[in-house]
Structure 1
Amino acid sequence: MTKKLWFQAGVGILLALLILKYFMEINWIFAPLLIIAKTIFVPLLLGAVLFYVTEPLQRFLEKRKIPRWGSILAILISVAAVVWLFISIIGPPVINQVNNLVKSAPYIAKEITIQSENLLDVLQHREDFPEQLNDMIDKAVNSVQSIAVVFGKLIVQFFQSVFQTAFTLILVPFFFIFLLKDHEKFAPFIYNFFSGKRQVWVKKTLHDINTVLRTYIQGQLLISLILAAIMFIGYLIIGLDYSLLLVIFAFFMNVIPFIGPWIAFAPALIIAFLDPDPQMVIWVCIITLVAQQTDSNLITPNIMGKTLDIHPLTVITVILAAGNIAGFLGILLSIPAYAVGKVILKNIYDRRKEIKLAATKNV
């Protein structure tokens, strides 16, 4: 029984939980290390995302005999130009819309409350209106009101946190440049600790992890950008208020598979409900439907392909569980972490099959 995979995995999990338990009980010893880890985690994460986004450009430049320092310099200039364009062109209207939204937040919350109460009052006076449906609508109204208030608070907190963590983001360029310069040295540094077939296995596993992360980050950001462009064009055509702010919010939310687009749809629907034109809600729903259908039928299959090979139900389950455990950061990191874990387990399974097959041949 001790040679069974399930037994070994169970023992490993129990040992890991035991180590974690004692680690939490003597956390005062590791407190400085945890503080350092928390300090560098976000800059390292952002630096890694920037690296995977710009890595195709680096490969393109170096294939044309441009030296490493030249490709890094070109990438840094390109990133600085994009940031400058964003701040100078998109920054002022975004700040203006944020200020208008913050000023209008009490009015928006009041209007939502009034319209919700009017709708509920009309429905409650109908004789054929079921009591259970009444309770359900009442809960939905409360949820919509909460979403409106929370959305306004999130916008304010987001921009406050940007300024509060500005000093941390100073580290991002250092990690970014380091990854651009020495990213090929990371994998050899790890697999050179091993030898023989084990070294080959570790090398293949690291390569697969890198492929999964690159595919996910590049693909998900490209999908978010395309969806944001489709939604922005649609919002401009119908004249929806706060269109640029809603699209920027949708861009970041669309990074979260499946659930993200629905999170981005909620504030747009609320703004549409408050518009004097009653057809605005219909137009927002149509634009969202067009964007989602374009994504599910054209964009995601061609960009992401079957590299991740994760079922939608698994994605939703993992995201919800990670959100309950680690909040918004857990939601963002849950799918790539799950994909990396799946790659590792798959390679372990393949390696065990090879060992068993070789043992059978020797017998």
Structure 2
Amino acid sequence: MVLSLLDRNWFKALVALILLLIAIFLLHQVSFIFTPIVVLLKTIFLPFILAGILFYLCRPLVRFLEKQKVPKGIAIIVAYIAIILAFYGIFKLIGPVVNDQIDRFVKNFPKMQEAVEESVTYVQDNWEYLPESVRDMVSFDKAAERAQSFFTGFASDFVSILTNIFSTVFVLVLVPFILFYMLKDGNRLGNFIALFFPAHKREDVKGVLGAMDKTISSYIQGQVLVSVCVGTLLLIGYLIIGLDYSLVLALFGMLTNVIPFIGPFIAVVPALLVALFQDPIMVVYVAIIMIIAQQIEGNIISPQVMGKTLDIHPLTIIVLILFAGNLVGFLGIIFVIPTYAVVKTVIIHLYKLTQVTRDDK
């Protein structure tokens, strides 16, 4: 009876899970030992992530040039020049407009602040006429405390950013060097990792690594393209309705689109505020534009760009975001979806290999 139980796959999985939880608990108890390692990883995390993103964006160009018999070194240099020209062209094209819109926003901000204060004063003056249920839900004292806490925290974070700006710039200098070696030797990584496995398993390992590489590549390239499309849709919509600061708001929407699920909600907040101060009816127009853009993105653009590589149920995305946000914070929200997609790809690939092995037997 005991021996048959030990042979069951579910029992082995349960034991493995228990051992994993025990290991996590023990590591948590001695986490202070790993503090220097964590600091080191945080230091190199940003340049490697940025270099990795640029690697997957530049690799198609490098591979195309190599197929045209261009030496890899020259192909990498061409990719670097393409990146520089792309950034220069973008800043040259939209830089003056963005600068002008930001300048106008800064000048108009006192008027917006004054309008908010007038609205708050009006509500306070008519406080006694509001239903008791509404008064119970709203507390100006608590709102003031939260606002003070927010601005205090923002100020401390801002000071922290200023104190670390030089170290951040130094870290970013590493990105071109890391990117160069990724483009130069990235194709050798799979073969190198496979050497640590038995000879008869190396092809399977390369297959798993290839599937992981395809998933990451699809996510990064697809996410960039989808975000650009969403930003373009928002810009067109904002220009049609005549929304102020349309380019800045569209760029903000493009950047926040990389945040799974909650990105569009973050993007629409400043657009709604600007619309409210410009003309209250514009709030409705902005909401309609955001809904249309998200429907086009979700039903047309993403399925065509991403395909089935990242086929993840919306409920799964919500659960992952809640879990990662509470456990890791903002970075967890950003990276949880590609991480889950990679893990899912590995599990599916290993399962298929297991099935093939069983069929061969």
The alignment's TM-score, normalised by the length of structure 2, stands at 0.84
Q: Which amino acid aligns with 1:204?
A: G
Paired-residue identity, % = 38
Query: Structure 1: how far apart are the matches of 2:299 and 2:275?
Result: 26
Match of 1:319 among 318, 321, 325: 321
Q: Which amino acid aligns with 2:196?
A: F
Compute the displacement of 1:219 (Å). Answer: 0.6
Partner of 1:53: 57
Residues 158-215 of structure 1: per-residue CA shift (max 9 Å, x gap): 9857666222111111111111111101111111222355223211111111111111
Structure 2 residue 44 is the aligned partner of structure 1 residue 40: yes
- Contact kept? 2:127, 2:135, Cα under 8 Å: no
Q: Which amino acid aligns with 1:262?
A: F
Query: Partner of 2:6: helix, strand, or coil?
Result: coil
Structure 2 residue 220 is the aligned partner of structure 1 residue 217: yes
Q: Which amino acid aligns with 2:214?
A: T
- Contact kept? 1:212, 1:339, Cα under 8 Å: yes
Partner of 2:6: 2
Query: Structure 2: how far apart are the matches of 1:268 and 1:158?
Result: 28
Distance 1:163 1:251, change over 3 A: farther
Compute the displacement of 1:105 (Å). Answer: 5.0
Structure 2 residue 201 is the aligned partner of structure 1 residue 198: yes
Partner of 2:232: 229
Q: Which amino acid aligns with 2:77?
A: L
* Comparing 176-185 and 230-239, the one that deviates more: 230-239
- Contact kept? 2:51, 2:175, Cα under 8 Å: yes
Aligned Cα RMSD in Å? Answer: 3.7
Query: Partner of 1:255: helix, strand, or coil?
Result: coil
Query: Partner of 1:241: helix, strand, or coil?
Result: coil
- The aligned length equals 356
Query: Structure 2: how far apart are the matches of 1:123 and 1:304?
Result: 52
* Comparing 289-298 and 193-202, the one that deviates more: 193-202
Compute the displacement of 1:99 (Å). Answer: 5.3
Q: How does 1:127-276 map to 2 (within 5 A)?
A: 131=133, 135=137, 165-275=168-278
Query: Structure 1: how far apart are the matches of 2:350 and 2:288?
Result: 46
Distance 1:71 1:123, change over 3 A: farther
- Contact kept? 1:109, 1:145, Cα under 8 Å: no
Q: Which amino acid aligns with 2:324?
A: A
Query: Structure 2: how far apart are the matches of 1:3 and 1:113?
Result: 71
Compute the displacement of 1:44 (Å). Answer: 0.3
- Contact kept? 1:234, 1:287, Cα under 8 Å: yes
Query: Partner of 1:171: helix, strand, or coil?
Result: helix
Query: Structure 2: how far apart are the matches of 1:13 and 1:81?
Result: 51
Compute the displacement of 1:342 (Å). Answer: 0.9
Query: Structure 1: how far apart are the matches of 2:227 and 2:10?
Result: 39
- Contact kept? 2:51, 2:178, Cα under 8 Å: yes
Distance 1:52 1:311, change over 3 A: same
- Contact kept? 1:112, 1:274, Cα under 8 Å: no
Distance 1:215 1:335, change over 3 A: same
